[in-house]
C-alpha cells in the first residue's frame, strides 16, 4: 500500500552552521545541504533540535529555510520544525511553514507542560485542522517529560490524513509493534535515534531522522537498503560497525559532538549557541578516536 507521504528513508536533522560571532552562516548551510543530499539524505529537517532551533530568531529561520530550499531544489524534500509547547504558537508555526511551501512539518509533543494523552490529541488536532501539509509527530519523552502512547498516535492518524508519520525517539520496541498494529497501514514510523534505526526497521519502521547521517549518510543509506533488499547480515554488520560512532556522537548534548565532527571535515566551523558549549579538547580527542576507528576498518 502506498504511504500517505514518503519523506524517504534518511531524513537528516541538519545542524545550523554558525561563524565565530555565532551568526548563522548561510553559505555554509547551502554547502552542507548539498553535501548531505550527495551522501544519502532524502530529506532535510530545518531548525530542529539538532539545528538549534530554540536559539534561532524568526528572521534567521526564514532565511535558513530559504537557503536550504534553494540548495535542495528537486533533489531532496525540505521539512520544517514547527513545534511548540503552546498550541497557539505551534498552529502559527505550522501555518507559516505551509505559506513557505515546505514539503512537511515536524511537530513535537508539547514539552514542559506535561499534557495528558487527551491534551496531546487536542494539541495535534488543532495543528492538523489548521494546515493541509503533511505533519510528522515527534515523540521524545526525554526532552518533553511525557510519552505519547501508541493508541494516541493511532487516534490521530485515523482521524487526520495529514498526520502522516511519527519520529519516535524512545527505545520502547513494544511501542513500535503496537503502533504498527493499531495505526493505519499507510502511516510511517521513523526512528529518532540512529542506534535504534535497524531494530525499529525490523518491526516495520520506514527509516530514520538522523544526526549521524551528517558523517555517515551513505553508510546509513546502505544499511537501510541492504535490510530492505533482504541482505540482513550486511545490514547488521553495518549497524555494528556504526554503533560506537552512533553512541559517541551523543556523548554531549546534541548537536555539540556532530558539529565538532563536521568542523573536522571542514564543512562548518565549530560553534554552537549558548547555553550549549563546544567540546573540550579532551572530549574531541575521544570523539575523533572513535570516528577514526571507523575509517580504519
Q: Which of 26, 138, 190, 227 is catalytic?
A: 138
Percent residues over pLDDT 70 in the chain: 99
What integer is the mean pLDDT of 200-206?
A: 98
- Grid coordinates given for 51: 539545528
Work out the mean pLDDT of the chain and round it to a whole number: 97
Query: In the 8-state DSSP scheme, what is residue 127?
Result: H
Q: Where are the beta strands (DSSP E) in the chain?
A: 10-13, 43-46, 77-81, 104-108, 135-139, 163-168, 188-191, 207-210
- How many structural domains are present in the chain? 1
pLDDT at 297: 58
Q: Give the 3-state secondary structure of 64-101.
A: HHHHHHHHHCCCCEEEEECCCCCHHHHHHHHHHHHHCC
Query: Where residue 296 falls among pLDDT bands split at 50, 70, 90?
Result: low
Backbone angles phi, psi at 146, to 5 degrees: -140, 155
Check whether 2 has a pLDDT greater than 90: no
Percent residues over pLDDT 90 in the chain: 98
**Known catalytic residue: 167?**
yes
**Known catalytic residue: 241?**
no
Task: For residue 158, tell me if it sits in a domain.
Answer: yes
pLDDT at 176: 98
Q: What is the pLDDT of residues 20-60, one digit of tens each?
A: 999 999 999 999 999 999 999 999 999 999 999 999 999 99
Task: For residue 163, tell me if it sits in a domain.
Answer: yes
Task: For residue 267, tell me if it sits in a domain.
Answer: no
- Grid coordinates given for 201: 526497521
Query: Where residue 276 falls among pLDDT bands split at 50, 70, 90?
Result: very high
pLDDT at 294: 86
Q: Which domain holds residue 36?
A: 10-231
Task: For residue 248, tell me if it sits in a domain.
Answer: no
Q: Which of 28, 77, 167, 221 is catalytic?
A: 167
CA distances to 18, 28, 97 from 24, in Å? 4, 9, 20
Task: For residue 292, tell me if it sits in a domain.
Answer: no
Q: What is the pLDDT of residues 212-238, one digit of tens each?
A: 999 999 999 999 999 999 999 999 999
Q: pTM of the full predicted structure?
A: 0.97
pLDDT at 1: 62
User: Could you tell me the CATH number of the domain that includes residue 105?
Assistant: 3.20.20.70
Task: For residue 259, tell me if it sits in a domain.
Answer: no
- Grid coordinates given for 180: 504498527
Task: For residue 288, tell me if it sits in a domain.
Answer: no
Task: For residue 132, tell me if it sits in a domain.
Answer: yes
Cis peptide before 124 (omega within 30 of 0): no
Task: Find, among 33, 107, 110, 113, the residue nearest to 65 by Cα.
Answer: 33
Amino acid at each position: 500500500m502506498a504511504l500517505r507521504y514518503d519523506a524517504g528513508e534518511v531524513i537528516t536533522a541538519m545542524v545550523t552552521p554558525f561563524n565565530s560571532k555565532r551568526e548563522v552562516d548561510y553559505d555554509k548551510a547551502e554547502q552542507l545541504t548539498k553535501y548531505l543530499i550527495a551522501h544519502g539524505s532524502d530529506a532535510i529537517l530545518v531548525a530542529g533540535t539538532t539545528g538549534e532551533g530554540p536559539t534561532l530568531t524568526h528572521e534567521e529561520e526564514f532565511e535558513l529555510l530559504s537557503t536550504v530550499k534553494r540548495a535542495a531544489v528537486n533533489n531532496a524534500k525540505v521539512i520544517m520544525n514547527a513545534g511548540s509547547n503552546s498550541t497557539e504558537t505551534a498552529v502559527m508555526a505550522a501555518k507559516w511553514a505551509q505559506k513557505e511551501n515546505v514539503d512537511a512539518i515536524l511537530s513535537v509533543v508539547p514539552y514542559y507542560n506535561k499534557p495528558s494523552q487527551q491534551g496531546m490529541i487536542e494539541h495535534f488536532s488543532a495543528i492538523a485542522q489548521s494546515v493541509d501539509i503533511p505533519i510528522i509527530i515527534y515523540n521524545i519523552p526525554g526532552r518533553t517529560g511525557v510519552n505519547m502512547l501508541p493508541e494516541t498516535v493511532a487516534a490521530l492518524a485515523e482521524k487526520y490524513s495529514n498526520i502522516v508519520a511519527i519520529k519516535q525517539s524512545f527505545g520502547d520496541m513494544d511501542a513500535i509493534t503496537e503502533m504498527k498494529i493499531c495505526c493505519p497501514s499507510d502511516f510511517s514510523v521513523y526512528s529518532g535515534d540512529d542506534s535504534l534505526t535497524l531494530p525499529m526497521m525490523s518491526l516495520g519502521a520506514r527509516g530514520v531522522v538522523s544526526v549521524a547521517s551528517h558523517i555517515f549518510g551513505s553508510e546509513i543509506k546502505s544499511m537501510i537498503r541492504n535490510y530492505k533488499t533482504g541482505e540482513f547480515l550486511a545490514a547488521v554488520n553495518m549497524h555494528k560497525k556504526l554503533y560506537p560512532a552512533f553512541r559517541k556522537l551523543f556523548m554531549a548534548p546534541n548537536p555539540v559532538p556532530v558539529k565538532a565532527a563536521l568542523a573536522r571535515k571542514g564543512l562548518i566551523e565549530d560553534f554552537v549557541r549558548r547555553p550549549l558549549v563546544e567540546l573540550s579538547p579532551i572530549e574531541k580527542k575521544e570523539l575523533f578516536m572513535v570516528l577514526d576507528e571507523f575509517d580504519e576498518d
